[in-house]
Structure 1
Protein backbone atom coordinates (compact mmCIF):
# COMPACT_ATOMS: atom_id res chain seq x y z
CA UNK A 1 0.00 0.00 0.00
CA UNK A 2 1.45 3.33 -1.02
CA UNK A 3 1.70 6.01 1.66
CA UNK A 4 2.58 9.66 1.92
CA UNK A 5 6.32 9.67 2.78
CA UNK A 6 6.14 13.12 4.35
CA UNK A 7 3.39 12.07 6.73
CA UNK A 8 5.18 8.85 7.70
CA UNK A 9 8.45 10.66 8.23
CA UNK A 10 6.84 13.37 10.33
CA UNK A 11 5.38 10.83 12.71
CA UNK A 12 8.68 9.04 13.17
CA UNK A 13 10.59 12.29 13.64
CA UNK A 14 8.10 13.60 16.19
CA UNK A 15 8.30 10.45 18.32
CA UNK A 16 12.10 10.50 18.20
CA UNK A 17 12.25 14.15 19.26
CA UNK A 18 9.77 13.54 22.09
CA UNK A 19 11.88 10.64 23.36
CA UNK A 20 15.05 12.76 23.31
CA UNK A 21 13.32 15.67 25.04
CA UNK A 22 11.98 13.32 27.69
CA UNK A 23 15.48 11.96 28.36
CA UNK A 24 16.91 15.47 28.66
CA UNK A 25 14.08 16.51 31.01
CA UNK A 26 14.69 13.48 33.23
CA UNK A 27 18.43 14.19 33.21
CA UNK A 28 17.77 17.80 34.29
CA UNK A 29 15.67 16.55 37.21
CA UNK A 30 18.54 14.22 38.22
CA UNK A 31 20.90 17.21 38.19
CA UNK A 32 18.62 19.17 40.49
CA UNK A 33 18.23 16.25 42.91
CA UNK A 34 21.98 15.72 42.96
CA UNK A 35 22.73 19.41 43.63
CA UNK A 36 20.08 19.55 46.37
CA UNK A 37 21.61 16.49 48.05
CA UNK A 38 25.13 17.86 47.65
CA UNK A 39 24.15 21.19 49.22
CA UNK A 40 22.48 19.45 52.16
CA UNK A 41 25.48 17.20 52.78
CA UNK A 42 27.96 20.09 52.65
CA UNK A 43 25.79 22.20 54.95
CA UNK A 44 25.60 19.40 57.54
CA UNK A 45 29.10 18.00 57.32
CA UNK A 46 31.45 17.87 60.31
CA UNK A 47 33.98 20.72 59.88
CA UNK A 48 36.61 18.58 61.61
CA UNK A 49 36.04 15.69 59.16
CA UNK A 50 35.05 17.22 55.82
CA UNK A 51 33.73 14.90 53.13
CA UNK A 52 35.94 13.78 50.26
CA UNK A 53 35.08 15.94 47.21
CA UNK A 54 36.41 13.30 44.82
CA UNK A 55 33.12 11.40 44.96
CA UNK A 56 31.09 14.46 44.03
CA UNK A 57 33.41 15.33 41.15
CA UNK A 58 33.14 11.77 39.85
CA UNK A 59 29.34 11.86 40.01
CA UNK A 60 29.22 15.21 38.24
CA UNK A 61 31.48 13.82 35.50
CA UNK A 62 29.18 10.82 35.06
CA UNK A 63 26.12 13.02 34.76
CA UNK A 64 27.91 15.16 32.17
CA UNK A 65 28.77 12.06 30.14
CA UNK A 66 25.14 10.92 30.24
CA UNK A 67 24.02 14.38 29.11
CA UNK A 68 26.43 14.30 26.16
CA UNK A 69 25.21 10.82 25.20
CA UNK A 70 21.57 11.94 25.24
CA UNK A 71 22.37 14.98 23.09
CA UNK A 72 24.38 12.84 20.64
CA UNK A 73 21.55 10.31 20.35
CA UNK A 74 19.10 13.14 19.75
CA UNK A 75 21.27 14.48 16.92
CA UNK A 76 21.62 11.02 15.37
CA UNK A 77 17.87 10.44 15.54
CA UNK A 78 17.29 13.75 13.76
CA UNK A 79 19.80 12.82 11.07
CA UNK A 80 18.18 9.40 10.63
CA UNK A 81 14.78 11.03 10.19
CA UNK A 82 16.19 13.37 7.54
CA UNK A 83 17.81 10.49 5.63
CA UNK A 84 14.53 8.56 5.77
CA UNK A 85 12.75 11.56 4.31
CA UNK A 86 15.30 11.84 1.48
CA UNK A 87 14.93 8.11 0.69
CA UNK A 88 11.14 8.46 0.69
CA UNK A 89 11.23 11.35 -1.75
CA UNK A 90 13.63 9.40 -3.98
CA UNK A 91 11.22 6.45 -3.93
CA UNK A 92 8.27 8.65 -4.90
CA UNK A 93 10.27 10.02 -7.82
CA UNK A 94 10.81 6.50 -9.15
CA UNK A 95 7.12 5.62 -9.48
CA UNK A 96 6.42 5.05 -13.18
CA UNK A 97 10.09 4.47 -13.97
CA UNK A 98 11.53 1.14 -15.13
CA UNK A 99 14.22 -0.34 -12.89
CA UNK A 100 16.52 -3.34 -12.94
CA UNK A 101 16.60 -5.14 -9.59
CA UNK A 102 17.40 -8.60 -8.16
CA UNK A 103 14.68 -11.08 -9.10
CA UNK A 104 14.26 -14.62 -10.35
CA UNK A 105 10.92 -13.82 -11.99
CA UNK A 106 10.58 -13.68 -15.75
CA UNK A 107 7.52 -12.11 -17.38
CA UNK A 108 6.70 -13.37 -20.89
CA UNK A 109 4.63 -10.82 -22.81
CA UNK A 110 3.66 -11.08 -26.50
CA UNK A 111 6.00 -14.05 -26.87
CA UNK A 112 9.12 -12.21 -25.65
CA UNK A 113 10.94 -11.84 -22.35
CA UNK A 114 14.21 -10.44 -21.07
CA UNK A 115 16.27 -11.05 -17.94
CA UNK A 116 19.71 -10.15 -16.65
CA UNK A 117 22.35 -11.89 -14.57
CA UNK A 118 25.72 -11.27 -12.94
CA UNK A 119 28.49 -13.73 -12.09
CA UNK A 120 30.50 -13.59 -8.88
CA UNK A 121 33.60 -14.88 -10.70
CA UNK A 122 34.87 -15.92 -14.11
CA UNK A 123 33.06 -18.98 -15.50
CA UNK A 124 33.68 -21.56 -18.18
CA UNK A 125 30.02 -22.43 -18.79
CA UNK A 126 26.87 -20.43 -18.12
CA UNK A 127 23.28 -21.42 -18.85
CA UNK A 128 19.80 -20.25 -17.88
CA UNK A 129 16.98 -22.61 -16.91
CA UNK A 130 13.44 -21.29 -17.31
CA UNK A 131 10.77 -23.04 -15.26
CA UNK A 132 7.10 -22.76 -14.45
CA UNK A 133 5.95 -21.83 -10.95
CA UNK A 134 5.71 -25.53 -10.05
CA UNK A 135 9.26 -26.27 -11.23
CA UNK A 136 8.64 -27.75 -14.68
CA UNK A 137 11.59 -27.02 -17.01
CA UNK A 138 10.44 -25.17 -20.13
CA UNK A 139 13.70 -24.14 -21.74
CA UNK A 140 17.46 -24.11 -21.19
CA UNK A 141 19.51 -21.36 -22.83
CA UNK A 142 23.17 -22.35 -23.00
CA UNK A 143 26.48 -20.76 -24.04
CA UNK A 144 25.77 -17.47 -22.27
CA UNK A 145 28.49 -14.82 -21.60
CA UNK A 146 30.99 -15.87 -18.92
CA UNK A 147 32.61 -12.58 -17.87
CA UNK A 148 32.45 -11.80 -14.15
CA UNK A 149 30.88 -8.72 -12.55
CA UNK A 150 29.24 -7.40 -15.74
CA UNK A 151 25.44 -7.27 -15.92
CA UNK A 152 24.53 -9.52 -18.87
CA UNK A 153 21.17 -9.31 -20.65
CA UNK A 154 19.43 -12.34 -22.20
CA UNK A 155 16.35 -12.48 -24.46
CA UNK A 156 13.93 -15.41 -24.49
CA UNK A 157 11.74 -15.89 -27.57
CA UNK A 158 9.02 -17.68 -25.61
CA UNK A 159 9.69 -21.13 -27.12
CA UNK A 160 9.99 -24.29 -25.02
CA UNK A 161 12.46 -27.17 -25.39
CA UNK A 162 10.44 -28.55 -28.30
CA UNK A 163 10.32 -25.21 -30.11
CA UNK A 164 6.65 -24.64 -29.30
CA UNK A 165 5.37 -21.23 -28.14
CA UNK A 166 4.67 -20.84 -24.43
CA UNK A 167 1.58 -18.83 -23.35
CA UNK A 168 2.34 -15.45 -21.81
CA UNK A 169 2.76 -15.45 -18.05
CA UNK A 170 5.21 -15.27 -15.19
CA UNK A 171 8.03 -17.80 -15.02
CA UNK A 172 11.22 -18.29 -13.05
CA UNK A 173 14.83 -18.28 -14.21
CA UNK A 174 17.81 -20.04 -12.64
CA UNK A 175 21.36 -19.16 -13.68
CA UNK A 176 23.89 -21.99 -13.55
CA UNK A 177 27.60 -21.28 -13.92
CA UNK A 178 30.69 -23.51 -13.64
CA UNK A 179 34.35 -22.53 -13.61
CA UNK A 180 37.19 -24.32 -15.43
CA UNK A 181 37.42 -26.90 -12.62
CA UNK A 182 33.70 -27.65 -12.74
CA UNK A 183 32.96 -25.82 -9.48
CA UNK A 184 29.83 -23.73 -9.17
CA UNK A 185 30.18 -19.96 -9.52
CA UNK A 186 27.96 -17.62 -7.55
CA UNK A 187 25.24 -16.01 -9.67
CA UNK A 188 22.49 -13.43 -9.29
CA UNK A 189 19.54 -12.89 -11.60
CA UNK A 190 17.79 -9.60 -12.29
CA UNK A 191 14.61 -8.38 -13.94
CA UNK A 192 13.40 -5.12 -15.48
CA UNK A 193 10.03 -3.91 -14.24
CA UNK A 194 8.07 -0.71 -13.82
CA UNK A 195 7.73 0.80 -10.35
CA UNK A 196 4.04 1.06 -9.44
CA UNK A 197 4.20 2.20 -5.82
CA UNK A 198 6.21 2.57 -2.64
CA UNK A 199 5.86 1.69 1.03
CA UNK A 200 7.82 1.47 4.27
CA UNK A 201 8.69 -1.58 6.32
CA UNK A 202 10.67 -1.06 9.51
CA UNK A 203 12.10 2.23 8.25
CA UNK A 204 13.17 0.72 4.92
CA UNK A 205 11.91 2.23 1.65
CA UNK A 206 10.53 -0.50 -0.62
CA UNK A 207 9.39 -0.25 -4.22
CA UNK A 208 6.38 -2.16 -5.54
CA UNK A 209 6.99 -3.49 -9.06
CA UNK A 210 4.57 -4.27 -11.86
CA UNK A 211 5.54 -7.96 -11.67
CA UNK A 212 4.16 -8.11 -8.11
CA UNK A 213 7.49 -8.07 -6.30
CA UNK A 214 8.58 -5.72 -3.53
CA UNK A 215 12.27 -4.74 -3.48
CA UNK A 216 14.39 -2.42 -1.36
CA UNK A 217 15.27 0.90 -2.93
CA UNK A 218 18.98 0.33 -2.31
CA UNK A 219 18.99 -2.86 -4.42
CA UNK A 220 18.06 -1.10 -7.66
CA UNK A 221 20.78 -1.58 -10.30
CA UNK A 222 19.60 0.73 -13.07
CA UNK A 223 16.83 3.29 -13.61
CA UNK A 224 15.28 4.17 -16.95
Structure 2
Protein backbone atom coordinates (compact mmCIF):
# COMPACT_ATOMS: atom_id res chain seq x y z
CA UNK A 1 0.00 0.00 0.00
CA UNK A 2 1.31 3.46 -0.93
CA UNK A 3 2.26 5.71 1.94
CA UNK A 4 1.53 9.43 2.10
CA UNK A 5 5.22 10.08 1.49
CA UNK A 6 5.10 7.95 -1.67
CA UNK A 7 2.09 9.89 -2.94
CA UNK A 8 3.78 13.25 -2.38
CA UNK A 9 7.04 12.09 -4.03
CA UNK A 10 5.21 10.77 -7.06
CA UNK A 11 3.32 14.05 -7.34
CA UNK A 12 6.55 16.04 -7.23
CA UNK A 13 8.01 14.26 -10.25
CA UNK A 14 4.80 14.22 -12.29
CA UNK A 15 4.18 17.96 -11.84
CA UNK A 16 6.52 18.49 -14.80
CA UNK A 17 3.64 18.24 -17.25
CA UNK A 18 0.13 19.59 -17.36
CA UNK A 19 -1.69 16.28 -17.13
CA UNK A 20 0.23 15.28 -14.03
CA UNK A 21 -0.34 18.62 -12.31
CA UNK A 22 -4.10 18.23 -12.83
CA UNK A 23 -3.87 14.76 -11.30
CA UNK A 24 -2.02 16.02 -8.23
CA UNK A 25 -4.58 18.77 -7.66
CA UNK A 26 -7.43 16.27 -7.97
CA UNK A 27 -5.78 13.98 -5.41
CA UNK A 28 -5.62 16.59 -2.66
CA UNK A 29 -8.65 15.15 -0.88
CA UNK A 30 -7.17 11.67 -1.16
CA UNK A 31 -3.95 12.92 0.38
CA UNK A 32 -5.75 14.45 3.37
CA UNK A 33 -7.91 11.34 3.79
CA UNK A 34 -4.85 9.09 3.87
CA UNK A 35 -3.16 11.37 6.38
CA UNK A 36 -6.25 11.43 8.65
CA UNK A 37 -6.63 7.65 8.47
CA UNK A 38 -2.98 7.17 9.25
CA UNK A 39 -3.28 9.41 12.34
CA UNK A 40 -6.46 7.66 13.54
CA UNK A 41 -5.00 4.19 13.20
CA UNK A 42 -1.51 4.77 14.42
CA UNK A 43 -0.09 2.43 17.01
CA UNK A 44 -0.54 4.09 20.44
CA UNK A 45 2.71 2.44 21.52
CA UNK A 46 4.51 3.76 18.45
CA UNK A 47 2.75 6.99 17.37
CA UNK A 48 3.54 8.82 14.18
CA UNK A 49 6.59 10.97 14.66
CA UNK A 50 5.65 14.67 14.46
CA UNK A 51 8.74 15.36 12.39
CA UNK A 52 7.64 12.76 9.83
CA UNK A 53 4.12 14.21 9.83
CA UNK A 54 5.54 17.70 9.23
CA UNK A 55 7.86 16.42 6.51
CA UNK A 56 4.96 14.82 4.63
CA UNK A 57 2.95 18.06 4.75
CA UNK A 58 5.95 20.05 3.56
CA UNK A 59 6.46 17.66 0.65
CA UNK A 60 2.92 18.08 -0.57
CA UNK A 61 3.00 21.85 -0.02
CA UNK A 62 6.14 22.10 -2.16
CA UNK A 63 4.42 20.17 -4.93
CA UNK A 64 1.40 22.48 -4.82
CA UNK A 65 3.68 25.51 -4.91
CA UNK A 66 5.43 24.10 -7.97
CA UNK A 67 2.07 23.59 -9.69
CA UNK A 68 1.12 27.20 -8.97
CA UNK A 69 4.44 28.45 -10.32
CA UNK A 70 3.92 26.43 -13.51
CA UNK A 71 0.41 27.85 -13.92
CA UNK A 72 1.73 31.40 -13.46
CA UNK A 73 4.47 30.73 -16.01
CA UNK A 74 1.89 29.40 -18.49
CA UNK A 75 -0.15 32.59 -18.08
CA UNK A 76 2.96 34.70 -18.68
CA UNK A 77 3.79 32.74 -21.83
CA UNK A 78 0.24 33.23 -23.13
CA UNK A 79 0.56 36.99 -22.60
CA UNK A 80 3.90 37.03 -24.42
CA UNK A 81 2.48 35.05 -27.34
CA UNK A 82 -0.43 37.47 -27.59
CA UNK A 83 1.93 40.44 -27.70
CA UNK A 84 4.11 38.72 -30.32
CA UNK A 85 1.04 37.86 -32.39
CA UNK A 86 0.02 41.51 -32.68
CA UNK A 87 3.58 42.38 -33.65
CA UNK A 88 3.83 39.79 -36.44
CA UNK A 89 0.37 40.56 -37.85
CA UNK A 90 1.91 43.86 -38.93
CA UNK A 91 3.77 41.96 -41.66
CA UNK A 92 0.51 41.27 -43.53
CA UNK A 93 0.30 43.33 -46.70
CA UNK A 94 3.98 44.24 -46.66
CA UNK A 95 6.67 42.96 -49.00
CA UNK A 96 9.40 40.88 -47.37
CA UNK A 97 12.67 39.42 -48.55
CA UNK A 98 13.80 36.21 -46.92
CA UNK A 99 16.48 33.56 -47.20
CA UNK A 100 15.13 30.70 -49.27
CA UNK A 101 15.38 28.70 -52.46
CA UNK A 102 11.68 28.48 -53.40
CA UNK A 103 9.68 30.74 -55.68
CA UNK A 104 6.33 30.61 -57.44
CA UNK A 105 6.14 30.23 -61.21
CA UNK A 106 3.22 32.30 -62.50
CA UNK A 107 2.64 34.07 -65.81
CA UNK A 108 5.78 32.39 -67.22
CA UNK A 109 8.09 33.86 -64.60
CA UNK A 110 9.73 32.86 -61.35
CA UNK A 111 12.57 34.86 -59.87
CA UNK A 112 15.14 34.66 -57.12
CA UNK A 113 17.62 37.23 -55.85
CA UNK A 114 21.13 36.27 -54.78
CA UNK A 115 24.42 37.63 -53.50
CA UNK A 116 27.42 36.33 -55.45
CA UNK A 117 30.79 36.48 -53.68
CA UNK A 118 32.69 36.62 -56.99
CA UNK A 119 32.40 36.89 -60.75
CA UNK A 120 32.10 33.62 -62.60
CA UNK A 121 29.93 30.92 -64.05
CA UNK A 122 27.11 29.45 -62.01
CA UNK A 123 25.30 26.17 -62.54
CA UNK A 124 21.54 26.64 -62.27
CA UNK A 125 19.30 23.72 -61.35
CA UNK A 126 15.55 24.09 -60.86
CA UNK A 127 13.34 21.42 -59.28
CA UNK A 128 9.59 21.05 -58.99
CA UNK A 129 7.71 20.45 -55.74
CA UNK A 130 8.36 16.69 -56.02
CA UNK A 131 12.13 17.20 -56.20
CA UNK A 132 12.52 16.36 -59.89
CA UNK A 133 14.92 18.50 -61.94
CA UNK A 134 13.01 20.35 -64.67
CA UNK A 135 15.65 22.77 -65.91
CA UNK A 136 19.41 23.28 -65.95
CA UNK A 137 21.68 25.91 -67.42
CA UNK A 138 25.03 27.65 -66.90
CA UNK A 139 25.18 31.43 -66.81
CA UNK A 140 27.72 34.13 -66.05
CA UNK A 141 27.05 36.32 -63.03
CA UNK A 142 28.80 39.28 -61.44
CA UNK A 143 29.90 39.71 -57.87
CA UNK A 144 27.27 41.29 -55.64
CA UNK A 145 23.49 41.44 -55.70
CA UNK A 146 21.66 39.99 -58.66
CA UNK A 147 18.36 38.51 -59.83
CA UNK A 148 17.79 35.29 -61.72
CA UNK A 149 14.56 34.94 -63.71
CA UNK A 150 13.20 31.68 -65.09
CA UNK A 151 10.53 31.78 -67.77
CA UNK A 152 9.24 28.30 -66.98
CA UNK A 153 10.86 26.55 -69.93
CA UNK A 154 11.83 22.94 -69.17
CA UNK A 155 14.80 21.00 -70.51
CA UNK A 156 12.53 19.41 -73.09
CA UNK A 157 11.42 22.82 -74.32
CA UNK A 158 7.88 22.61 -72.92
CA UNK A 159 6.34 25.00 -70.43
CA UNK A 160 6.31 24.01 -66.75
CA UNK A 161 3.04 24.18 -64.87
CA UNK A 162 2.52 27.09 -62.48
CA UNK A 163 3.48 26.28 -58.91
CA UNK A 164 6.32 26.25 -56.40
CA UNK A 165 9.87 25.53 -57.63
CA UNK A 166 13.24 25.49 -55.89
CA UNK A 167 16.61 26.58 -57.23
CA UNK A 168 20.23 25.76 -56.53
CA UNK A 169 23.08 27.96 -57.76
CA UNK A 170 26.53 26.40 -57.65
CA UNK A 171 29.86 28.11 -58.34
CA UNK A 172 33.48 27.07 -57.96
CA UNK A 173 36.12 28.89 -55.94
CA UNK A 174 39.72 29.47 -56.97
CA UNK A 175 40.57 25.91 -55.85
CA UNK A 176 37.82 24.54 -58.13
CA UNK A 177 35.78 23.54 -55.10
CA UNK A 178 31.99 23.89 -55.55
CA UNK A 179 29.92 26.03 -53.20
CA UNK A 180 26.30 27.15 -53.05
CA UNK A 181 25.32 30.75 -53.71
CA UNK A 182 22.70 31.84 -51.18
CA UNK A 183 19.36 32.85 -52.66
CA UNK A 184 16.47 34.97 -51.44
CA UNK A 185 12.78 35.15 -52.19
CA UNK A 186 10.53 38.19 -52.19
CA UNK A 187 6.77 38.45 -51.85
CA UNK A 188 3.86 40.10 -50.12
CA UNK A 189 2.78 38.55 -46.81
CA UNK A 190 -0.78 37.25 -47.02
CA UNK A 191 -1.00 35.34 -43.74
CA UNK A 192 0.80 34.74 -40.43
CA UNK A 193 0.77 31.17 -39.06
CA UNK A 194 1.33 30.62 -35.32
CA UNK A 195 0.55 26.87 -35.30
CA UNK A 196 3.99 25.51 -36.19
CA UNK A 197 6.00 26.47 -33.12
CA UNK A 198 8.01 29.11 -34.94
CA UNK A 199 6.03 31.93 -36.53
CA UNK A 200 5.68 31.34 -40.27
CA UNK A 201 4.77 33.97 -42.86
CA UNK A 202 2.86 32.93 -45.97
CA UNK A 203 3.67 34.62 -49.26
CA UNK A 204 0.85 33.15 -51.29
CA UNK A 205 1.74 29.45 -51.54
CA UNK A 206 5.19 29.95 -50.00
CA UNK A 207 5.98 29.51 -46.31
CA UNK A 208 8.81 31.52 -44.76
CA UNK A 209 9.96 31.25 -41.12
CA UNK A 210 10.00 34.73 -39.63
CA UNK A 211 13.61 34.13 -38.54
CA UNK A 212 14.63 34.01 -42.25
CA UNK A 213 13.33 37.52 -43.00
CA UNK A 214 16.11 39.88 -44.09
CA UNK A 215 14.14 42.89 -45.31
CA UNK A 216 10.63 44.37 -44.98
CA UNK A 217 9.25 46.94 -47.42
CA UNK A 218 5.95 48.76 -47.09
CA UNK A 219 3.82 48.29 -50.20
TM-score surpassing 0.5?
A: yes
Unaligned runs of 5+ in 2: 1-17, 154-158
Question: Residue 61 of structure 1 corresponds to which residue in structure 2?
Answer: 58
Question: Residue 206 of structure 2 corresponds to which residue in structure 1?
Answer: 213
Partners of 1:71 and 1:167 in 2: how far apart? Answer: 58
Change (3 A) 1:112 1:214: closer
1:117 to partner: Cα distance: 4.0
1:124 to partner: Cα distance: 9.1
Question: Residue 149 of structure 1 corresponds to which residue in structure 2?
Answer: none
Question: Residue 122 of structure 2 corresponds to which residue in structure 1?
Answer: 127
Unaligned runs of 5+ in 1: 1-17, 146-151, 161-165
1:154 matched to 2:146? The reply is yes
SS in 2 for 1:95: coil
CA-based RMSD of the aligned residues comes to 4.1
Deviations 1:69-116 (A, max 9, x none): 212211221122122212322232111001112322245778876533
1:28 to partner: Cα distance: 4.2
Partners of 2:210 and 2:57 in 1: how far apart? Answer: 46
Contact persistence 1:84–1:203 (CA under 8 A): no
1:223 to partner: Cα distance: 1.2
Match of 2:79 among 63, 78, 82: 82
1:25 to partner: Cα distance: 4.0
Question: Residue 4 of structure 1 corresponds to which residue in structure 2?
Answer: none
TM-score norm. by structure 1 comes to 0.62
1:129 to partner: Cα distance: 1.2
Change (3 A) 1:139 1:185: closer
Partners of 1:177 and 1:27 in 2: how far apart? Answer: 65
Question: Residue 40 of structure 1 corresponds to which residue in structure 2?
Answer: 40
Change (3 A) 1:24 1:123: farther
1:33 to partner: Cα distance: 3.1
Contact persistence 2:98–2:185 (CA under 8 A): yes
TM-score norm. by structure 2 comes to 0.63
1:190 to partner: Cα distance: 1.8
Change (3 A) 1:128 1:61: farther
Deviations 1:20-46 (A, max 9, x none): 9956742643553355345435xx542
Change (3 A) 1:64 1:172: same
